[in-house]
A and B are shown apart, each in its own frame.
Chain A
Amino acid sequence: MSENYEPNIVAFLCNWCSYAGADLAGTSRVHYPANIQVIRVMCSGRVNPLYVMNALQQGADGVLISGCHPGDCHYMEGNFYARRRMGMLKDLMEFVGVDPKRFHMSWVSASEGHKWKEVVEKTVEEAREAGPFEGFRRRQIDW
């Protein structure tokens, strides 16, 4: 790992809470690492496990999924489903040898700009520890 390695993180943020939370962090001039590439989805429950797989295949070093706090989902229960699925996915990925430090999930509400900063810092820090992802990334293979 080179000295100035910067992890590349893909973040799936729910439209109603986490995306607004990240927006608030921006408007409040909160500084957080710039390694995050945000993809807005309507709900964390919409995140298909294959999104995560594809992100890792295509060069992400870590994935973050963020949604509303349990009970606050705009669609009442989307984040509950997401919690179940992503919990399972995390176990499965760890089982096949993907570092759990590459995969995170968080609850960030629209008013939690500061929490968003903490979440990103933690995610980036852990992904940095895990190093560049080489596992089943497409370009690692004779593509």
Chain B
Amino acid sequence: MDLEQLRKTAAEVVVREDVKYLIGWKQGSYGYRVAPVFVEDASGAAELLFSPLCTANLATYLTLVEKTPLPRGQEADKRKVALLVKGCDSRAVTQLIVEHGINRDQVIVVGCPCPGVVDTEKLAEKYPEQGKPAEVEWNGENFVLLCDDKETELPRDQFLAEKCRLCRHPNPVISDITVGEPVEPWTLADDNGVEEIEGKNLEERQAYWEEQFSKCIRCYSCRNVCPLCYCQDCILDRLNPTWVNRAVNFSENTAFNIARAFHLAGRCIECGECERVCPANIPLGKLNRKMAREVRDKYGFEPGVDPEAEPFQASFKPDDPEDFIL
């Protein structure tokens, strides 16, 4: 990935009069962290970054804008938002368009074909984080860690993030401007973590998820980081009726997690953000992948690929499977 080209393109986009800002990644404050950044002028584009550490899905910020009431006589800022996307992020943008969460003409998608990102937790385990920000690059085959003027080659199959092992769309599915060359899709990993649980019997599954859900501290970072969880009025915040009690215990946590997974059935684009941000390390990705697999196998639907598609849960086919009906 040519960073110069990325920064040049971004600067060109940002100076356009109809663009409010560009959302991209920049180097974080330490270690392997990368922080989202809102670039408002050409000079800001110089700190943009695209590296195997850019795991965050920036499409979240499209729907995260909080609108305060406008003072009388003032017009809303209707300029466009530009956004850097990887393959998975572009699926989130597509799905948002499908659901009319955003308007296609309100975003400028700057696509970055992505050869896969690293699992920063695994990386930090092997090579502990330093106070100084480190860099990671692609070298065609593997990742290269640049830290303290040392170059360490990181084997791809060892450090590739879980979500990337199962990624079918490394190239952005929609983009207005593409930076860099398209990458060749790779062979998918066989193990998606779902079969492992399906192999258990009901009691074992119950025990497994009880252990997992009991860990939940209900910080809602999985909800907030999700590009497709953008309801203005979330059921989890409602008190009248109280869908899910505020108490934190296994019962309510299960209701919350099932509700979350269900709301993402047929919508989750498997960017893996929920699993990455969870401070309690709950394997939320397994729930999402299970649902995504059912949707694909039983209903032949893949979210976030076709901007013209009908939303999965708001559409039907007369011949949908009904073998479970009495």
Contact = CB atoms under 8 A, between A and B. Distances in A.
Interface of A: 49-50, 53-54, 57, 70-71, 77, 80-81, 83-100, 104-107, 119, 122-123, 135-138, 140-143
Interface of B: 197-198, 202-210, 213, 235, 243-244, 247, 249-252, 254-255, 257-259, 261-262, 265-266, 287, 290-291, 294-295, 298-299, 312-314, 316, 318, 320-322, 324-326
Contacts of A83: 316, 320, 322, 325
Cβ-closest 8 pairs across A and B: A97-B206, A97-B205, A80-B316, A136-B254, A106-B326, A136-B251, A96-B209, A88-B265
Contact of B325 (A57, A106, A141, A142): A106
A89 B294 CA distance: 11
- Interface SS of chain B: helix
B258 A93 contact: yes
Contacts of B316: 77, 80-81, 83-84
Given A88-B265, A97-B209, A105-B325, A140 B251 contact: yes
Contact of A92 (B247, B251, B262): B262
Contacts of A77: 316
Given A54-B255, A96-B206, A87 B321 contact: yes
B37 to A, nearest CB: 37
Contacts of B197: 95
A74 B294 CA distance: 29
Contacts of A140: 251
A81 B205 contact: no
Contacts, number: 118
7 contacts: A49-B259, A57-B251, A80-B318, A83-B322, A94-B202, A97-B206, A105-B326
A137 B251 contact: yes
Contact of A96 (B258, B294, B322, B325): B258
Nearest to A65: B325
Contact of B254 (A84, A86, A96, A122): A96
B291 A87 contact: no
A96 B324 CA distance: 18
A93 B209 CA distance: 11
B255 A97 contact: no
Contact of A122 (B209, B213, B326): B326
A92 B320 contact: no
Contact of B320 (A84, A96, A141, A143): A84
A93 B321 CA distance: 17
A97 B213 CA distance: 12
B318 A91 contact: no
Given A85-B313, A97-B206, 16 more contacts: A50-B243, A53-B255, A53-B258, A57-B251, A83-B320, A88-B262, A88-B265, A88-B266, A88-B295, A92-B261, A92-B262, A97-B205, A97-B209, A105-B324, A107-B325, A143-B251
Nearest to A51: B243
Given A49-B262, A136-B251, A141-B250, A87 B324 contact: yes
B325 A97 contact: no
